[in-house]
């Protein structure tokens, strides 16, 4: 029996305001599960409740079907890795990792064996005699991971563990962390505000807003089928166009009016109010020669081109007034677009989704060029 199942039942935490708002969640044994959301949405509080550092205002927390409300933190089979590594600066790497085991008064040889295998897991065996100050940030975070894993918890809680590292290191540690989780097979509950981290590592993820879960699913479904404009925006799907729904059905299809054009969308029409947002990912918009005909095409003009290396980001101004971002792969073909080029933009019906939710959406022109996960 592997263990490591987490169940949250109507979990609520109120400080002066509600930080965690009536969350129901089940995480399976051995799952890599992420809570994703902006700062202040209640991610850390949720982890602290599970770890036992906070007491719920209402609701229950079950670990492997046992209600742990009355169990103190050190007796829960759970360990936490923080963004600030919280290592002892005066202890060596070996002693930092051994610390928790020594508190358990285990035999010396067992401590040594377990510390070495934990250090091997994170590729730091040869650094055992160094002190944290003699290690890079990424290495220090690996020591913190080893220190948590050596206690063999059935659940590891990770609170933005890569947050203090630079982008390149974050990317490589991300891959390592996922491999590590598969190797040790314990449940990882991972908290981040970084959509790319959550999308690439998780088996499933939940997007949080104001203490609530707004969408839960496997990464590609949450990314491809955002439930509302908030999730779409948060996952970096920044093309949100204001449209009027003019007809609905069959199924979840609908027709929407964007300026002078009528567009057919294959998804999301059922629940959308008359005034809605249509969303399309930048990598799904096709730029065609001006005058190309057929449905779901709208006239536009190239406003700006941003070279990103492997791709080029094209900002289009639609005749209808909206701005749309397009991502073109730089595959060696000729690039004939320049600022001011009139074009037609094609929004494939299966890539166009109409969403409920009137969340104010971040100004696209102010957004940083972002690497988008590639469609598979």
Q: Which does 19 bind (CB under 5 to 8 A by kind): Mg ion, ligand ADP, none?
A: ligand ADP
Q: Does 43 bind ligand ADP (CB under 6 A)?
A: yes
Q: Which does 42 bind (CB under 5 to 8 A by kind): Mg ion, ligand ADP, none?
A: ligand ADP
Total site size for ligand ADP, rule CB under 6 A: 12
Residue with nearest beta carbon to Mg ion: 44
- Smallest gap from Cβ 17 to ligand ADP, in A, equals 6
- Smallest gap from Cβ 239 to Mg ion, in A, equals 29
What is the distance between the alpha carbons of residues 278 and 355, in angstroms, rounded to a whole number?
Answer: 6
**Of the candidates 6, 8, 27, 41, which one interacts with ligand ADP according to CB under 6 A?**
41
Q: Which does 121 bind (CB under 5 to 8 A by kind): ligand ADP, Mg ion, none?
A: none
- Smallest gap from Cβ 163 to ligand ADP, in A, equals 11
Q: Please state the φ and ψ torsions of residue 140, each to the nearest 5 degrees.
A: -65, -40
Residue 14 has a CB neighbour count (10 Å cut-off) of 13
- Tell me which residues in 340-359 interact with ligand ADP (CB under 6 A): none
Sheet with 342-347, strands from edge to edge, namely 285-289, 342-347, 297-307, 311-318, 323-329
- Asked whether the beta carbons of 317 and 333 are under 8 A apart, the reply is no
**Of the candidates 2, 10, 14, 15, which one interacts with ligand ADP according to CB under 6 A?**
15
Token pair in block for residue 64: 């492997």
What's the sign of the alpha-carbon dihedral 16, 77, 160, 30?
Answer: negative
What is the distance between the alpha carbons of residues 62 and 372, in angstroms, rounded to a whole number?
Answer: 36
Q: Which stretch binds ligand ADP (CB under 6 A): 12-20, 81-89, 127-135, 146-154?
A: 12-20
What is the distance between the alpha carbons of residues 292 and 347, in angstroms, rounded to a whole number?
Answer: 13
Q: Does 109 bind ligand ADP (CB under 6 A)?
A: no
Q: Does 163 bind ligand ADP (CB under 6 A)?
A: no
What is the distance between the alpha carbons of residues 157 and 39, in angstroms, rounded to a whole number?
Answer: 17
Instruction: Please identify, using beta-carbon distances, which residue of 44 and 96 lies nearer to Mg ion.
Output: 44
Beta-ladder partners of 191:
35, 159
Where does this chain bind Mg ion (CB under 5 A)? 44
Instruction: Please identify, using beta-carbon distances, which residue of 45 and 139 lies nearer to Mg ion.
Output: 45
The alpha carbon of residue 89 and the mean position of all alpha carbons in its chain are separated, in whole angstroms, by 31
Binding residues for ligand ADP, rule: CB under 6 A, are 15-17, 19, 37, 39-45
């Amino acid at each position: 029996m592997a263990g490591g199942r987490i169940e949250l039942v109507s979990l609520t935490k109120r400080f002066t305001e509600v930080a965690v708002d009536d969350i129901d969640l089940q995480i399976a044994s051995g799952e890599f599960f992420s809570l994703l959301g902006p700062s202040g949405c209640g991610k850390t509080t949720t982890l602290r409740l599970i770890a036992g550092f906070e007491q719920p205002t209402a609701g229950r927390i079950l670990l492997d079907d046992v209600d742990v409300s009355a169990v103190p933190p050190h007796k829960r089979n759970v360990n936490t890795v923080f963004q600030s590594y919280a290592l002892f600066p005066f202890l060596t790497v070996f002693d930092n990792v051994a610390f928790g085991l020594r508190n358990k008064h285990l035999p010396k040889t067992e401590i040594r064996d377990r510390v070495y295998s934990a250090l091997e897991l994170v590729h730091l065996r040869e650094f055992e005699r160094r002190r944290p100050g003699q290690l890079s940030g990424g290495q220090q975070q690996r020591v913190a991971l080893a220190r948590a894993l050596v206690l063999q918890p059935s659940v590891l809680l990770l609170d933005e563990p890569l947050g203090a590292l630079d982008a390149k290191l974050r990317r490589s540690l991300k891959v390592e962390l996922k491999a590590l989780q598969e190797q040790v097979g314990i449940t990882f509950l991972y908290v981040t505000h970084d959509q790319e981290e959550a999308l690439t590592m998780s088996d499933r993820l939940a997007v949080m807003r104001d203490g609530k879960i707004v969408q839960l699913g496997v990464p590609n479904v949450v990314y491809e089928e955002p439930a509302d404009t908030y999730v779409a925006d948060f996952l970096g799907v920044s093309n949100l166009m204001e449209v009027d729904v003019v007809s609905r059905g069959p199924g979840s299809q609908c027709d929407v009016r964007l300026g002078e054009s009528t567009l057919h969308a294959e998804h999301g029409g059922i629940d959308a109010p008359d005034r809605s947002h249509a969303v399309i990912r930048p990598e799904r918009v096709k730029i065609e020669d001006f005058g190309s005909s057929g449905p779901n095409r709208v006239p536009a003009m190239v406003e700006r081109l941003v070279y990103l290396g492997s791709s080029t980001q094209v900002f289009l101004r639609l005749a209808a007034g909206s701005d749309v971002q397009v991502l073109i792969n730089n595959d060696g073909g000729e690039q004939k677009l320049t600022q001011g080029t009139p074009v037609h933009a094609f929004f494939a019906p299966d890539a166009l989704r109409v969403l409920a939710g009137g969340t104010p959406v971040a100004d696209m022109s102010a957004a940083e060029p972002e690497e988008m996960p590639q469609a598979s």
